[in-house]
């Protein structure tokens, strides 16, 4: 059974499977972020100096990249969750594939426009006259 899993995955590959996998991955990433966020903010109990030190640890390039991936995970998880609600509760199974692609398009538009906020050197929004 385990040996045939990659072969079966390849044979039955579809956009719903990809959407399911990314939804699970983004959910796990958001759970990890939640614990990290609570741990970082818990420094407020030790005083303002400890809190400032805790926040400054994330004010670097790695912190900004991780913040961008947080936006990536939140946007995808939220949009895919809305798609699941529409498909499940309103019996939109005939539009299921279109909803998946609409979710992906909206997701990439949000992520693309947010690039200039997180990485101002790219100047993408200026090129789009945004």
pLDDT tens figures, 6-63: 676 677 777 778 888 889 999 999 999 999 999 888 988 888 898 888 888 888 888 8
Calculate helix-pair angle for 96-118, 61-89, nearest 10 degrees. Answer: 160
CA-to-CA distance for 56 and 12, rounded, in angstroms? 47
Alpha-helical (H) ranges within 12-60 are 15-41, 48-56
CA-to-CA distance for 55 and 46, rounded, in angstroms? 13
pTM above 0.85, yes or no: no
CA-to-CA distance for 22 and 27, rounded, in angstroms? 8
pLDDT band for 113, please (50, 70, 90 cuts). confident
- 3-class DSSP assignment, residue 92: coil
- Within a 13 Å sphere around the CA of 58, how many CA atoms are in the beta-carbon half? 16
Residue 125 has pLDDT above 50, yes or no: no
User: What mean pLDDT do residues 89-93 have?
Assistant: 74
pLDDT at position 35, please?
A: 94
């Amino acid at each position: 059974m385990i040996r045939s899993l990659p072969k079966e995955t390849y044979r039955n590959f579809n956009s719903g499977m990809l959407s399911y996998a990314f939804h699970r991955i983004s959910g796990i990433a958001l759970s990890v972020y939640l614990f990290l966020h609570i741990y970082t903010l818990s420094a407020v109990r030790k005083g303002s100096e400890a809190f400032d030190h805790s926040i400054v640890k994330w004010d670097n390039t790695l912190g900004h990249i991780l913040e961008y991936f947080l936006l990536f995970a939140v946007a995808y998880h939220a949009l895919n969750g809305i798609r699941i609600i529409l498909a499940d509760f309103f019996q939109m199974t005939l539009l299921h594939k279109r909803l998946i692609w609409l979710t992906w398009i909206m997701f990439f538009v949000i992520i693309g426009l947010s690039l200039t906020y997180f990485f101002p050197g790219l100047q993408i929004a200026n090129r789009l006259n945004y």
